[in-house]
Structure 1
Amino acid sequence: MTAIEGGVCLLGETLVDEFHDRKVAGGAPFNVARSLAALVAPAKVLLLSALNSDDTAGQCILASMRRFHLDEAGLQLTPAWPSGRVSVSEQAGAGSPDDAGEGSGAHVFTIHGPAAWEHIALAPAQALLAHTRPRIFYFGSLAQRSEPSRRSVRALAEQARAQAALCYLDLNLRPGSSEPDLAAQSLSRADWVKVSEGELAQLFAWFGRASDAELDPLAAPIELSGAVDALQQRFGLRMLVLTRGAAGYAAFGAGGQVLMEGAAAPVPRLVDTVGAGDAFSAMLLAATLRRQTLVQALALANRYAAALCGERGPIPDGDAFFAPWRAALAEETRT
């Protein structure tokens, strides 16, 4: 297949989330890739990652890729390293429809390593990126916690920008990838960045003015405008999207202007919040591919992320979940 010109190339970790009662394929780039394949088309999605096809985790990842008909051309098989695994400890009171971080009160993640996704080789990924010429290039910080993949991620993001792709950074600060220099290097290679309220607070503390560290990311978005503008100017960002769990979301454009804000969509039956932030990214990118307005794209992303909180794990077990969202995308595109 490998023909995604005008589509999305995603780079980073593939792994297995180990819950107390089951194991499911996960990893932020993989979660976004699967949603995109279901919402738009597998032919518009290319995932660049690495796994060991001989171990149980690798076989679980491959089975999920095949369920969504994702192209395996971007998978590097690395028998020297095990496939990625993450132990998920679910805490009482999980209720925020956003990514849960370590010690967040919702879930605690233990990331096992070294893993195959920490050793993504540059040359084959560069060749695929040059050949496929995506419209959007997605990357995060976790895959940069080891030096081999860090070099690859940074070089590929620079290549994508040179090819005129929009570089979308889902910051996803996690243990081993939460250093200020790593965040700065990632932000400097991004056009759009998505952060949670906790991540924005951390960015203000690392890179903001003295007064910015006192700001509450859950305050009215207009109160954050100046501090966001300072971040955007420092790193050359075109847009910052802030997801705030129960407080909703906001998007900031040039000059820290609040482009859009909205309340959290209702979650009728909360099951868990794992992968909700990834769902938000997936729908935002799907709607962008369909050339919808930012208002349409963010509203759909907000609703889609909330709907995923009613499902177990980062991706629904049943394909029927996606049908109304494909219809919603088509309806918004027509209007």
Structure 2
Amino acid sequence: MERMKQQNKRPVVVGIGELLWDLLPTGKTAGGAPINFVYHASRLGAEGYAVSAIGDDEDGVDILKELDKNSIQYLIEKVPYPTGTVKVELKEDGIPEYTITERVAWDHMSPTSDAVDLAERADAICFGALAQRSTQSRETIQAILSFAPDTAYRLFDINLRQHYYNKGLIEESLYLSNVLKMNSDEMNQLKELFGLNGTEDEIAAWFMEKYNLKMVVLTAGASYSTVYTPDEVSTLPIPEVEVVDTVGAGDAFSAALIMSLLNGGTLKDAHRYAVKIAAFVCSSKGAWPAYE
């Protein structure tokens, strides 16, 4: 088990879930939505931690080197399953399509005492539905989340992929979270799953009231994004940029939003910052572009 470094005064931001190699047409890049979130939060000043599992293989060795190179701290188990990979095909507009390998290391995470200790001092934790596709990792993620402080942002970046989710899993996750992030396609899937009708505003309000959320974040591709709280709504257009690919842009958006709020920013300011950082990622290759 890799150990945590000494705590400092920066916001403590944690991503729990899939750590993997995105196999892009141009080569492999490190990724996984919760870990992408940590990468960007770390670049923006957080004490960031990745919590996941890797295999005892070359891909596992290489991905730890990537975490070290990018100054991401981590609690990573080594388990007798291969390190995760995802084949990524980019459509003409730069939108990715994913083929996700099954029965890999991040499907077999355990709720270690170190991970629980980390959750107890977290200012923000990001998790999603994908890493909960296996019973073991689902129970692990939910157990770790239960130790997070009430004051922490517990961001459920729903990240619906293929057949790896159901209504029960989503409800369990919503009860453990206080922020829901989704894109417009995922909102439509949730409307169907929960039997909902209405406008985007009405759907967001329903989820906030039903699950006692402090925030709902909706990204609508290249058009706009909206951040909802019970008291305020912020909608901003997406700036036009030359898109290289959109891999990790939503995770960067979430990281910038949460970091700005943790640093005392207003909702409007945090939203503007999130849009700016997401646009930067869209204009760069891969989920972990270098910051100037």
The answer on whether the counterparts of 1:4 and 1:134 sit within 8 Å (CA) in structure 2 is no
TM norm structure 2: 0.92
The whole-number CA distance in structure 1 between the counterparts of 2:255 and 2:285 is 17
- Residue number in structure 1 paired with 2:208: 232
Which one of 48, 64, 70 corresponds to residue 66 of structure 2?
A: 64
- Residue number in structure 2 paired with 1:285: 258
The whole-number CA distance in structure 2 between the counterparts of 1:82 and 1:233 is 41
The whole-number CA distance in structure 2 between the counterparts of 1:168 and 1:93 is 28
Which one of 246, 261, 269 corresponds to residue 235 of structure 2?
A: 261
- Residue number in structure 2 paired with 1:101: none
1:58 CA displacement: 1.1
The whole-number CA distance in structure 1 between the counterparts of 2:129 and 2:140 is 12
Q: Which has the higher strand share?
A: 2
1:184 CA displacement: 1.4
Alignment of 1:149 onto 2:151: no
1:124 CA displacement: 3.2
The whole-number CA distance in structure 2 between the counterparts of 1:304 and 1:311 is 11
- Residue number in structure 2 paired with 1:117: 106
The whole-number CA distance in structure 2 between the counterparts of 1:301 and 1:144 is 26
The answer on whether the counterparts of 2:257 and 2:274 sit within 8 Å (CA) in structure 1 is yes
The whole-number CA distance in structure 1 between the counterparts of 2:160 and 2:36 is 16
Q: How does 1:176-187 map to 2 (within 5 A)?
A: 176-187=163-174
1:178 CA displacement: 2.6
Q: 1:88 to 1:50 in 2, by over 3 A?
A: same
The answer on whether the counterparts of 1:58 and 1:83 sit within 8 Å (CA) in structure 2 is yes
- Residue number in structure 2 paired with 1:90: 90
Structure 1 vs Structure 2 CA RMSD: 1.8
Identity across matched positions, percent: 31
What is the one-letter code of the residue matched to 1:75? I
Structure 1 unmatched runs, 5+: 95-105, 213-222, 324-335
What CA deviation, in whole Å up to 9, does each residue of 1:16-61 have, x standing for no partner?
00112301111011111111111104xx112211112x32321231
What CA deviation, in whole Å up to 9, does each residue of 1:58-102 have, x standing for no partner?
123112101111223x11121x111110011222233xxxxxxxx
Secondary structure of 2:122's counterpart equals coil
The answer on whether the counterparts of 2:257 and 2:273 sit within 8 Å (CA) in structure 1 is yes
Q: Which has the higher helix share?
A: 1
Q: How does 1:154-303 map to 2 (within 5 A)?
A: 154-161=142-149, 164-209=151-196, 211-212=197-198, 223-254=199-230, 258-267=232-241, 269-303=242-276
The whole-number CA distance in structure 2 between the counterparts of 1:261 and 1:16 is 33
What is the one-letter code of the residue matched to 1:129? L
The answer on whether the counterparts of 2:15 and 2:125 sit within 8 Å (CA) in structure 1 is yes
What is the one-letter code of the residue matched to 2:85? R
Aligned length: 287
Rg larger for: 1
What is the one-letter code of the residue matched to 2:22? D
1:307 CA displacement: 1.3
Q: 1:181 to 1:118 in 2, by over 3 A?
A: same
Q: 1:62 to 1:169 in 2, by over 3 A?
A: same
Secondary structure of 2:60's counterpart equals helix
What is the one-letter code of the residue matched to 2:68? R
Which one of 13, 22, 31 corresponds to residue 8 of structure 1?
A: 13
1:125 CA displacement: 4.7
- Residue number in structure 2 paired with 1:45: 48
The answer on whether the counterparts of 2:37 and 2:126 sit within 8 Å (CA) in structure 1 is no
- Residue number in structure 2 paired with 1:327: none
The whole-number CA distance in structure 2 between the counterparts of 1:260 and 1:225 is 11
